[in-house]
């Protein structure tokens, strides 16, 4: 793998740390360039009170000189502003785990009599650093002309109206959808669907419940051949599924039409080559989500990720006391009602990291300009030229 990253830190500790290794030298990078994506992660209807406290900003601690990456590991730090509040009012050591959270399994695995060390690290707060790291990867992709978008397509039982993802072959159309999503509190491009989603979140909040939902991800101008068919752990779809499933609350990932492949005949699943674009490998449809045999096929990459509802509910659920073994109700603490709109930015970050890694694996050099030269040369050649028959 060309890119490797690691995060450290707890939800209410002093801050979050991130180290990103493998970014070539020469990429323009500043703290201001990281800020917009961190701000997007903090926005969205259904967010809890924590987002009113934190003002996330990633400090660059290493790997950048005079505004350009050096090729050395990039060190990042995000301070937790809520840390000071918890120092003044230390919470009790919770002994009743929340169903749906890592509390119970983690306490048993690590031999703990209370759940705080588990809940602190398993918290979605950690994804703030993933977004910072993913933004660096995103900037690398954008230097190569590759852009990433997302849209919320479902919250609770409300499904958004709009063009199916398999038909969104034109990036300009996707840009228009993206702009409408950015104006929406739930990141939904359809106004009528947005209103229904907002109402569903309100009903969940009033009843003390929480809601999950689904997000579609897109990446355009992807070169043919990222990933490989030769090894299971290097297949791009394997890596994408693993990366997105690593995000807290993501319980399912589909690539292209996903589960629908089992319900359609082959003639309605496989993407035929467009006779008008045969030399460039263009397709008439994009049901595969731009990936065949573990490799990109030149079409836009698109995926769908499904979030479960937040595990911390005002309507508390049955649980057990870890110390007494007695039946208890799980605790409630400040939390989101729906993380789906905010989760979009985390999904985009993981998608960017995997695609940047695959890009550098195929075209990578120690210097960005050399990487981009190899990418441009690859794009300039026809299918026939690539296969050695011209």
In sequence order, what are the beta bridge partners of 65? Answer: 68
**Which pLDDT score, from 0 to 100, does residue 18 have?**
98
Dihedral sign for Cα atoms in the order 228, 378, 256, 348: positive
Residues of the chain with pLDDT under 70: 1, 48-54, 83-91, 334, 389-390
Q: 3-state DSSP call for residue 375?
A: helix
**Which pLDDT score, from 0 to 100, does residue 314 have?**
85
At 69, list the tokens.
């990456």
Question: Rounded to the nearest 10 degrees, how much is the dihedral formed by the CA atoms of 214, 82, 17, 67?
Answer: 90
Q: How many CB atoms lie within 10 A of CB 13?
A: 17
Q: Are 329 and 318 in contact (CB under 8 A)?
A: yes
Q: Are 371 and 387 in contact (CB under 8 A)?
A: no
**Which pLDDT score, from 0 to 100, does residue 48 have?**
63
From CA 344, how far away is CA 351, in angstroms rounded? Answer: 11
CB-count exposure of residue 187 (10 Å: 0-12, 13-18, 19+): buried
Q: Which helix (H) or strand (E) holds 64?
A: strand 64-65
At 389, list the tokens.
């028959």
Q: Which domains are assigned to the chain?
A: 4-386 (3.60.150.10)
Q: Are 325 and 116 in contact (CB under 8 A)?
A: no
**Which pLDDT score, from 0 to 100, does residue 352 have?**
98
Residue labelled with tokens 């729906």: 338
Residue labelled with tokens 């990078």: 29
**Which pLDDT score, from 0 to 100, does residue 54 have?**
60
Could you say which DSSP state residue 321 is in? -
Model confidence pLDDT, tens digit, residues 206-226: 999 999 999 999 999 999 999
CB-count exposure of residue 270 (10 Å: 0-12, 13-18, 19+): middle
């Amino acid at each position: 793998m060309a890119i490797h990253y690691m995060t450290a830190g707890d939800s209410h500790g002093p801050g979050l740390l991130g180290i990103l290794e493998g970014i070539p030298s020469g990429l323009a990078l500043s703290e201001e360039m990281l800020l917009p994506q961190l701000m997007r992660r903090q926005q969205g209807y259904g967010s809890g009170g924590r987002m009113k406290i934190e003002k996330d900003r990633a400090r660059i601690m290493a790997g950048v000189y005079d505004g350009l990456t050096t090729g050395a590991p990039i060190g990042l730090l995000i301070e937790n502003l809520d840390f000071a509040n918890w120092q003044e009012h230390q919470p009790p050591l919770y002994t009743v785990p929340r169903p749906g959270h890592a509390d119970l399994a983690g306490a048993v695995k690590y031999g703990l009599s209370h759940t705080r060390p588990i809940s602190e690290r398993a918290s979605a707060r950690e994804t703030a650093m993933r977004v910072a790291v993913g933004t660096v990867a995103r900037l690398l992709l954008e230097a190569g002309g590759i852009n990433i978008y997302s849209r919320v397509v479902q919250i609770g039982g409300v499904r958004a109206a709009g063009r199916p993802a398999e038909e969104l072959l034109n990036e300009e159309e996707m840009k228009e959808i993206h702009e409408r999503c950015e104006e929406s509190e739930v990141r939904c491009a359809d106004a009528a669907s947005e209103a229904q989603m907002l109402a569903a979140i309100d009903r969940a909040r009033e009843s003390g419940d929480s809601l999950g939902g689904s997000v579609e991800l897109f990446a355009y101008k992807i070169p043919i051949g990222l990933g490989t068919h030769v090894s299971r752990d290097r297949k791009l779809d394997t890596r994408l599924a693993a990366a997105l499933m690593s995000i807290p609350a993501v319980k399912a990932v589909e690539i292209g039409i996903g589960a629908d492949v089992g319900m359609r005949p082959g003639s309605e699943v496989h993407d035929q080559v467009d006779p008008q674009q045969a030399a460039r490998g263009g397709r008439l449809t994009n049901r595969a989500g731009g990936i065949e045999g573990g490799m990109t096929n030149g079409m836009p990459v698109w995926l769908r990720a499904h979030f479960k509802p937040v595990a911390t509910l005002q309507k508390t659920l049955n649980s057990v006391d870890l110390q007494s073994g007695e039946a208890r109700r799980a605790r409630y603490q400040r939390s989101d009602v729906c993380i789906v709109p905010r989760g979009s930015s985390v999904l985009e970050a993981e998608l960017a990291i995997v695609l940047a890694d695959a890009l550098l694996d195929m075209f990578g050099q120690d210097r960005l300009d050399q990487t981009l030269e190899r990418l441009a040369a690859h794009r300039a050649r026809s299918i026939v030229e690539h296969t050695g028959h011209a």
